[in-house]
């Protein structure tokens, strides 16, 4: 679970509500169901036109996965692979079966189980890399979706404001209604700006960062599974996986190992 995103969202919306509260007049002038409907519903309708139905549904799961799916820690991963390599060298690949149930990450578990099942290391690496390609594509699809929502929300905000302005201008007879009418008209622009700038645009950035992180970990897993399948020593496995890490963190692993 990504803690910075939670803090950021709470902080962002908290500041907006605090700013509304400090201005006086309470929260009620800022809540308008039809305005919300046109901005949120409109963005969703644009997404439905923009993407095939299965991508729309898939993108929601990518976004959720991105926050709730646990990506294994690189350091812990190296330790786990060292243990597996030791076991495999001592008692053969079949001995990995007793450990495979305790592997938390599904991608790694399936890889190890294929090894036990007798899939040659080369073939397995290729299959896993193809799957990684699909994971990457799903991630970039998710980012594209959030980007499109971040562009659609302000556009529907503007459409809502234009509708509100036309309605207000048509009934200028009662000057006391001008202010209220304009205030309501501006709400959709405000909603669109909040959806885009507090949620979608930063979220797209986080999705990209998480996807990059996950790709590195997945590549470590592929390298680790292939190394064990090729009969590498625990030391060789460690060294190979450490090349995926930044020098600083690598030094930490070395220090712990020493």
Smallest distance from the beta carbon of 193 to a copy of itself, in angstroms? 5
Smallest distance from the beta carbon of 81 to a copy of itself, in angstroms? 21
Q: How far is CA 37 from the centre of its chain?
A: 26
Distance CA 153, CA 36 (A): 10
> Residue 2 or residue 113: which is nearer to a copy of itself going by CB?
2
> Residue 85 or residue 160: which is nearer to a copy of itself going by CB?
160
> Contact 196/203 with Cβ under 8 angstroms?
no
Distance CA 250, CA 243 (A): 8
Smallest distance from the beta carbon of 31 to a copy of itself, in angstroms? 11
Smallest distance from the beta carbon of 182 to a copy of itself, in angstroms? 5
């Amino acid at each position: 679970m990504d803690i910075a995103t939670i803090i950021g969202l709470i902080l962002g919306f908290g500041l907006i509500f605090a700013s509304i509260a400090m201005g006086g007049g309470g929260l009620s002038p800022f809540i308008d169901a039809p305005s919300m409907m046109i901005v949120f519903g409109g963005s969703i309708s644009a997404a439905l036109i923009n993407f095939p139905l299965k991508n729309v549904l898939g993108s929601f799961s990518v976004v959720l996965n991105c926050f709730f799916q646990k990506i294994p820690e690189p350091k812990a991963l190296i330790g786990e692979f060292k243990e597996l390599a030791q076991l495999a060298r001592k008692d053969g690949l079949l001995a990995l079966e007793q450990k495979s149930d305790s592997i938390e990450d599904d991608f790694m578990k399936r890889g190890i189980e294929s090894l036990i099942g007798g899939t040659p290391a080369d073939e397995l690496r290729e299959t896993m890399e193809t799957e990684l390609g699909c994971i990457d594509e799903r991630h970039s699809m998710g980012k594209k979706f959030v980007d499109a929502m971040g562009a659609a929300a302000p556009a529907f905000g503007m459409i809502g404001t234009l509708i509100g302005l036309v309605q207000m201008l048509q009934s200028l007879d009662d000057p006391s209604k001008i202010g209220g009418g304009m205030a309501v008209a501006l709400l959709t622009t405000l909603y669109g700006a909040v959806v885009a700038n507090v949620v979608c645009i930063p979220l797209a950035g986080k999705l990209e960062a998480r996807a990059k992180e996950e790709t590195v970990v997945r590549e470590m897993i592929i390298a680790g599974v292939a190394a064990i399948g090729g009969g590498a020593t625990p030391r060789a496995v460690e060294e190979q996986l450490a090349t995926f890490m930044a020098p600083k963190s690598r030094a930490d692993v070395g220090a712990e190992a020493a």
